[in-house]
């Protein structure tokens, strides 16, 4: 019970587990809300982050899967579709269990396609074509390291490590897993209802072959990730804690010596088998150590036999080729120490350093009160959600950057209409309510730019459209409105909007949100964490401030001092840009807080309010010096330099420009 309490203290309790799941599922919905991906793909988050089976100290990576929808996969000729590039899952004795080959099918008839090998296809002895995994060529293009079926993105300051997996979708349940649907186990888990839901998820094909297989370079692994997610969501808190402890023990005692031999997925598989073959009554908080020992006992037997059968496709041995004859005795010994008895297991748990679990447990024996991690976890989760919203906006803007204003208007109208015409429910509806207002503000700003260019004014309908997004965060959309009002000489109205923004922007709470490029973040504000702990995504409108982003087609809404940002690079510099740079370097982008003070400086100067103007300038200088999480400090220095020119302080202006270039 003390161990269960400690795990709850570090975020492995029902509330935080559900919060983790909600947040990462919501990021999926945001990524897929209008399906604008150039590859016509859908994005999914799998693994411990989205399952809620991790802790801050474990530093788990994020498993992101891009499911390509333009290549339909079939398992039977009767599913063939005319005029479509079909791929047929084929299996024979030469293909490893849990894997398949993807045979290319003619689009005009349900027959094999014959031809010559090229970059995407390989010809077999009979001339039939089989589809190759495109992951390696894509990762090579973007400089991403490959690990198994995934492209790794690691050691990015302030961001979770990511494993990016490309997969194809088959809408039918895999033939190799048909027997699992009818199988009855002692624990009567999973239920027939859960199995029925699993059977409707189909399967994924991941481009990696079985190690040592004859067709390793051509094989695709059959993945049941959607079903495994359903199974994980069906576990009780003791089962989840048991899984977390398994991973911690493996990381502590096994991985330092036998890296990659026992994976988290093996631990999950072992847990599934244990739950399926034991009575549900044993999975109680006061029986956690016994449950843990049972899981490790099964893992021990798997190591002895060098066979860890996949839970849904048992023919797929997850340990195949993993354990060398030299390592096996030592590996067996280490695992045996954990399964000997509950006392031995407890001693091993006391040695866990992740999240100071061992130390916390010792203190818990003396009934010491310990600081809980829930508010830190909640803050990180919601901040990551805000980053995902920022990513979505950048992705959308990137599709429009070379468009004329009128074309951009039509595209944004279509995006908004597409979202409104879909009858979203659940988290998809929540995602639409988070994204659509931001689209409306951008559309209104593009229309305003057209209005200002033609008539030097802005229509009431355009202002109404902009106003739909005013409450998405504390500042960014309102700053666009204030900028537009200033451009059309509605100075008093702009002043009112800026005063409202400053009132809403609590410096002790609000965090800037920027995803234009990677930079290391320091600890988020304490009160930000506290508010996140008591709320879900609805609190973002009060505690986050997105970058203010003006596209080239919004240029007439931008003050003169900021327009130069749109032409920030020479042609030679453009060639050297990274993929991330291409998504924002041709925009005028500035953090909300410095832009607020810059506009206040401009407005107060126009109104002849000297003291207020100097106060705004002081706040701008202080923000650049003291706010640790500015994403565009160089832009803030640039506009500060412009202010110093107006103040007649040429030396200070030159210093700003020098710092801006560093």
List the beta bridge partners of residue 89: 102
* Residues 105 and 87: beta-carbon distance below 8 Å: yes
Angle at 474 between CA 469 and CA 479, to 5 degrees: 65
> Could you tell me the CA-to-CA distances from 592 to 15, 113, 441, 564, 627 in Å, in that order?
33, 56, 15, 18, 12
| SS3 call for 106 | coil
Q: Cα 298 vs. chain centroid, distance in angstroms?
A: 33
pLDDT at 151: 47
The answer to whether the Cα torsion of 583, 585, 588, 592 is positive or negative is positive
Determine the length of the chain: 662
> In whole angstroms, what is the distance from residue 90 CA to residue 222 CA?
11
Tokens 């994020």 correspond to 62
Angle at 150 between CA 146 and CA 155, to 5 degrees: 65
Which residues, including other chains, have CB under 8 Å from residue 610's CB and lie 6 or more apart?
604
Query: If you average pLDDT over residues 444-453, what whole number do you get?
Result: 96
In this predicted structure, the answer to whether residue 356 has a pLDDT above a threshold of 50 is yes
- Say if residue 423 is exposed, middle or buried (CB neighbours under 10 Å; 0-12, 13-18, 19+): exposed
pLDDT at 403: 67
Strands (E), 477-633: 511-513, 544-546, 548-550, 588-590
> What domains can you pick out in the chain, each with its CATH number?
37-234 (3.30.460), 235-369 (1.10.1410.40), 375-592 (no CATH)
> In whole angstroms, what is the distance from residue 256 CA to residue 363 CA?
27
Strands (E), 377-493: none
pLDDT at 400: 58
Q: How far is it between the farthest Cα atoms of the chain?
A: 85
Maximum mean pLDDT: which of 14-18, 128-132, 337-341: 14-18
Helix (H) or strand (E) holding 220: strand 220-223
Verify cis geometry, omega within 30 degrees of 0, for the bond prior to 190. Answer: yes
Tens-digit pLDDT profile for residues 528-582:
999 999 999 999 999 999 999 999 899 999 998 888 887 777 777 777 777 666 6
Which residues, including other chains, have CB under 8 Å from residue 520's CB and lie 6 or more apart?
157, 158
Weakest-pLDDT range from 51-60, 189-198, 359-368, 434-443: 359-368
- CB-CB neighbours of 169 under 10 Å: 18
* Residues 599 and 591: beta-carbon distance below 8 Å: no
Q: What is the pTM of this model?
A: 0.89
In this predicted structure, the answer to whether residue 155 has a pLDDT above a threshold of 70 is no
pLDDT at 140: 47
> In whole angstroms, what is the distance from residue 576 CA to residue 585 CA?
12
> In whole angstroms, what is the distance from residue 103 CA to residue 87 CA?
5
Tokens 């899981």 correspond to 295
* Residues 390 and 515: beta-carbon distance below 8 Å: yes
* Residues 219 and 208: beta-carbon distance below 8 Å: yes
> In whole angstroms, what is the distance from residue 371 CA to residue 368 CA?
10
Which residues, including other chains, have CB under 8 Å from residue 407's CB and lie 6 or more apart?
400
DSSP, res 147 = E
Tokens 């935080």 correspond to 16
Strands (E), 566-619: 588-590
Query: If you average pLDDT over residues 603-612, what whole number do you get?
Result: 96
In this predicted structure, the answer to whether residue 144 has a pLDDT above a threshold of 50 is no
* Nearest by Cα to 588 from 603, 579, 598: 598
Strands (E), 56-198: 62-74, 87-90, 99-104, 121-123, 129-131, 145-147, 150-153, 162-170
pLDDT range class, residue 36, cuts 50, 70, 90: very low
Maximum mean pLDDT: which of 282-296, 328-342, 576-590: 282-296
pLDDT at 38: 41
DSSP, res 490 = -
pLDDT at 37: 44
pLDDT range class, residue 423, cuts 50, 70, 90: confident
In this predicted structure, the answer to whether residue 416 has a pLDDT above a threshold of 80 is yes
In this predicted structure, the answer to whether residue 21 has a pLDDT above a threshold of 90 is yes
* Residues 284 and 238: beta-carbon distance below 8 Å: yes
> Could you tell me the CA-to-CA distances from 431 to 27, 66, 379, 380 in Å, in that order?
8, 19, 19, 19
When the pLDDT of each residue in the chain is averaged and rounded to a whole number, the result is 88
pLDDT at 143: 47
DSSP, res 285 = G
Tens-digit pLDDT profile for residues 158-187:
455 557 788 899 999 999 999 999 988 777
């Amino acid at each position: 019970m003390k161990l269960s309490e400690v795990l709850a203290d570090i975020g492995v309790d029902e509330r935080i587990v559900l919060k983790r799941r909600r947040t990462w599922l919501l990021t999926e919905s945001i990524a897929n809300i209008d399906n604008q991906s150039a590859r016509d793909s859908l994005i999914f988050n799998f693994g411990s982050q989205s399952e809620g089976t991790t802790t801050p100290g474990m530093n788990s990576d994020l498993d992101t899967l891009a499911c390509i929808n333009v290549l339909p996969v079939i398992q039977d000729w009767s599913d063939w579709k005319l005029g479509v590039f079909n791929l047929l899952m084929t299996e024979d004795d030469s293909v490893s269990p849990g894997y398949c080959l993807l045979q290319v099918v003619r689009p005009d008839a349900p027959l094999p396609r014959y031809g010559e090998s090229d970059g995407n296809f390989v010809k077999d002895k009979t001339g039939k074509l089989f589809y190759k995994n495109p992951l390696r060529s894509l990762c090579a293009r973007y400089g991403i390291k490959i690990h198994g079926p995934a492209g790794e993105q690691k050691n990015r300051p302030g961001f979770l490590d990511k494993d990016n997996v490309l997969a194809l979708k088959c809408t039918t349940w895999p033939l190799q897993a048909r027997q699992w649907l009818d199988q009855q186990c002692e624990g009567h888990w999973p239920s027939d209802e859960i199995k029925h839901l699993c059977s409707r998820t189909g399967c994924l094909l991941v481009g990696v072959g079985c190690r040592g297989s004859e067709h390793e370079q051509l094989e695709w692994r059959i993945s049941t990730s959607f079903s495994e997610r359903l199974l994980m969501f069906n576990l009780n808190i003791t089962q989840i804690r048991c899984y977390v402890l398994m991973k911690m023990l493996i990381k502590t005692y096994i991985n330092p010596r036998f890296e990659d031999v026992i994976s988290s997925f093996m631990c999950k598989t072992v847990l599934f088998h244990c739950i399926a073959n034991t009575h549900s009554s044993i999975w109680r908080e006061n029986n956690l150590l016994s449950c843990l020992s049972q899981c490790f006992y099964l893992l021990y037997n798997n190591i002895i036999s060098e066979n860890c059968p996949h839970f849904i496709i048992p023919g797929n041995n997850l340990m195949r080729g993993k354990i060398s004859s030299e390592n096996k005795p030592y590996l067996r010994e280490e695992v045996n120490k954990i399964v000997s008895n509950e006392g031995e297991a407890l001693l091993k748990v006391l040695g866990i350093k992740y999240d100071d679990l061992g130390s916390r447990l010792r203190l818990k024996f003396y009934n010491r009160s310990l600081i809980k991690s829930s508010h830190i976890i909640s803050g990180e989760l919601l901040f990551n959600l805000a980053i995902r919203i920022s990513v979505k906006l950048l992705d959308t803007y990137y599709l429009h950057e070379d468009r004329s204003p009128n074309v951009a208007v039509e595209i944004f109208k279509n995006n908004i209409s597409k979202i409104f015409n879909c009858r979203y429910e659940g988290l998809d509806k929540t995602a639409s309510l988070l994204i659509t207002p931001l689209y409306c503000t951008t559309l209104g700003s593009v229309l305003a730019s057209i209005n200002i260019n033609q008539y030097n004014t802005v229509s009431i309908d355009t202002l109404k459209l902009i106003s739909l997004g005013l409450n998405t965060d504390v500042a960014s959309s309102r700053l666009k409105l204030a900028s537009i009002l200033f451009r059309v000489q509605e100075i008093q109205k702009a002043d009112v909007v800026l005063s409202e923004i400053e009132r809403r922007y609590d410096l002790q709470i609000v965090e800037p949100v920027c995803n234009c490029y990677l930079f290391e973040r320091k600890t988020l504000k304490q009160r930000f964490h506290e508010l996140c702990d008591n709320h879900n995504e609805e609190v973002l409108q009060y505690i986050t401030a997105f970058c203010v982003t003006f596209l080239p087609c919004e240029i007439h809404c931008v003050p003169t001092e900021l327009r130069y940002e749109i032409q920030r690079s020479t042609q030679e510099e453009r060639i050297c840009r990274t993929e991330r740079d291409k998504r924002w370097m041709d925009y005028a982008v500035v953090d909300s807080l410095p832009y607020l003070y810059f506009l206040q400086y401009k407005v107060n100067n126009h109104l002849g309010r000297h003291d207020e103007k100097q106060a705004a300038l002081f706040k701008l200088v202080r923000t650049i010096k003291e706010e640790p999480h500015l994403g565009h400090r160089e832009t803030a220095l640039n506009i500060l330099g412009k202010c110093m020119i107006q103040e007649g302080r040429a030396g200070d202006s030159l210093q700003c420009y020098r710092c801006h270039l560093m």
